[in-house]
Amino acid sequence: MASGLIRRHMALSLHRNVRLSAPACRYVSKAAPKTQQDYDYSGPSMKTTVPGPRSQVLTKQLGEIQNVGAINFFCNYEESRGNYLVDVDGNRMLDVYTQISSIPIGYNHPDLLKLMSNPNNLSTLVNRPALGILPPENFADKITESLLSVAPSGMTRVQTMACGSCSNENAYKAMFIWYRNKERGHNTPSEEDLSSCMINQAPGCPELSILSFMGGFHGRTMGCLATTHSKAIHKLDVPSFDWPIAPFPQLQYPLEEFTRENAQEEARCLEEVEDLIVRWRQKGKPVAGIVIEPIQAEGGDNHASPDFFRSLRNIARKHGCAFHVDEVQTGGGATGKFWAHEHWGVDDPADIVSFSKKLLTGGYFHKDELQADKPYRIFNTWMGDPSKNLILAEVLNVIRRENLLEEVCRSGKALLNGLYELQAQYPGILSRARGQGTFCAIDICDDSTRTSLLNKARDKGTNNLYVHVCTVNSTCD
């Protein structure tokens, strides 16, 4: 009975509050091109359980080609609009999953469709250049118009990439290169450096490390995986590095009732960070960089105070470590500011800020000194995609024109207040409501209850598939 009431309340709350943040626009039906019938989706519309019969057939078909264990259902993206995702069985769901948090302004936004139909953009859409050696004429202008217009404080350089993992992987390389150049006094690498690196030996391949945090997620490539500590399935059977792992603060909620306890917890974690840096230096594996998310997303929507991050930034400076803020999940406005680290209130927040997802392209901003000293050291075939910069520029125009960051703050407040009300009604099932902007979460008492609520809410028309929508910490009464 309680879970049924929660499911209905959550679906209604999400539907009401996500609609608050939807851009005010009308969509043109492709199903009626001659009449140009205009319409908006007014809410969810469910025709089958999910996955429906058509999705099941397609899953079986794809299963003959690749692993389909993670697939939930197949989608009809042509009919999806705004905050609503339509599947191949005609089910229309309020989408709070947004393609693993990567859709910035909804499906088929009219301004983006207009951009795609502009014949002047066809060359950018059709041709994908090797940007590291043969960029198009307007590439610098487009980066300035898009990415540099939202550059973090103190940063004027950006390196584009294709996805979050390769953004972080190359950011790690940049930190290592910077650190070794400092160590050798910016002199030319020795012959021993050059020969030993070819057989994966020191000094050419130095014993350096990156400090990360338990619960963090930074990607699934080899270096990133060494700093990812959210789920065992990501790391199982894959060799890794002996790099230090610090505890991330486990705050108690509501925050105002546990001020002293939370301050002590953050101080404990900061003390452990310093201890690990010293210990790894003594082991002969000095920490070249520290990587952290402003909010641990995949790891359970874990927050820490601005004071914690400011202190961590100072620890990095003290010990000569680069400070890398991973905004792949949090960047793009979901917290009410374009970058989550803006909530810390510092002018010099990081040495590197990586991004992807809602920014459509991947990459990282960095300080001048983190610039690679030679060509081909930070490099791959595509180094990003100019078409994504084109789309991002228009996304940023929409965000500014429609004051969407203000909408995120307003909608987020309503959403979080709704979560507070729900946990007050069902204290044995829900707990630890928390969030910034619309980046909100609540814990559910156990795995089975969480899975049941998610599946039933989806069948009622809310696509909230991602496990971090509801995390697991407390115990059911």
Q: What residues act catalytically?
A: 217, 326, 357, 381
Residue indicated by tokens 């970058």: 339
Burial class, 85, CB count within 10 angstroms (exposed 0-12 / middle 13-18 / buried 19+): buried
For residue 320, the SS3 value is coil
Question: Residue 219 and residue 197: Cα distance in Å, rounded?
Answer: 25
Cα dist from 18 to 105, 226, 336, 458, whole Å: 12, 36, 14, 15
Question: Residue 152 and residue 350: Cα distance in Å, rounded?
Answer: 9
Token pair recorded at residue 450: 């969480």
Question: Residue 76 and residue 31: Cα distance in Å, rounded?
Answer: 13
Among 12, 16, 1, 40, CA closest to 411: 16
CB 246 within 8 A of CB 212: yes
For residue 4, the SS3 value is helix
Among 378, 455, 463, CA closest to 103: 463
What beta strand segments (E) does 73-154 contain? 84-86, 92-95
Question: Residue 420 and residue 351: Cα distance in Å, rounded?
Answer: 36
Q: What are φ and ψ of residue 38, in 5° steps? A: -90, 140
Cα dist from 195 to 8, 191, 476, whole Å: 65, 6, 59
DSSP code at position 91:
-
Among 85, 82, 69, CA closest to 458: 85
